[in-house]
Amino acid sequence: MILNIDTAVAGASIALSQGSEILASATNEAAKESAGWLQPAIKELMQAGGYPLSALDAIAVSVGPGSYTGLRVGMASAKGLCYALQKPLIAISTLEMMAAAAKKVVPEAELYCPMIDARRMEVFTAIYNRVLQPIVPPHNLILDAHSFSDLLAAHRVCIFGNGSDKFKPLLKEGQALFATIYPHAVQLAELALEQYKKGHFADIAYTEPFYIKAFYTTQARS
């Protein structure tokens, strides 16, 4: 039994899975409320099913890229539960999670290109093949009409995510298949199960969100 947590892109979601079956899930689309919503929602989800937190075998979390604040909220909650319950942590790329979901929705595509909005014309993106191997590793990209032109000329590429709307009007040719697919914790379940079976667990002390870009804060002037 795995508790899956996603707070990477817009809002927050959780899902309780047993094997590949989703037992229950919950969503809060208000991104600014994720920190206050997440822990009570986990408690309510477990209690509604009659499961104590101790029944969990692992906690899985999407580690980014995505919202800086959202990623910190999800990681802190996942780590806190792992420490308290002495359960393993499973860390999964948000882009890989999205690609796994797209593969089910658009099976005819040869490649999968999730795009997460990073403001202006920039996105966090990667390209995966049908077995979810990264053909182009996760990176930040300023979109233009020539982005991924070689791959789009040679392959049917499914392009999706909340950053893909910025790319669609730029694209004049190629074999793009645009789809509406957004991250949700239920999409973590199968990937988390695979990692659990392989014993691929993250270091609870040292695992950090995968921001891709450096995170800067501005200090108020005195």
> Residues 49-90: pLDDT tens digits?
999 999 999 999 999 999 999 999 999 999 999 999 999 999
The amino acid that residue 60 corresponds to is: A
pLDDT, position 219: 41
Q: Is the pLDDT of residue 29 over 70?
A: yes
Backbone angles phi, psi at 89, to 5 degrees: -105, 135
Q: How confident is the model at residue 214 (pLDDT cuts 50, 70, 90)?
A: low
> Residues 122-136: pLDDT tens digits?
999 999 999 999 999
Closest CA to 190 of 40, 36, 60, 82: 60
SS3 state at 18: strand
The structure's pTM equals 0.92
Closest CA to 58 of 42, 40, 74, 81: 81
Q: Is the pLDDT of residue 31 over 80?
A: no
> Residues 162-196: pLDDT tens digits?
999 999 999 988 899 999 988 899 999 999 999 99
* Domains of the chain from N-terminus onward: 2-93+183-198 (3.30.420.40), 95-179 (3.30.420.40)
pLDDT, position 216: 39
Lowest mean per-residue pLDDT among 26-30, 60-64, 210-214: 210-214
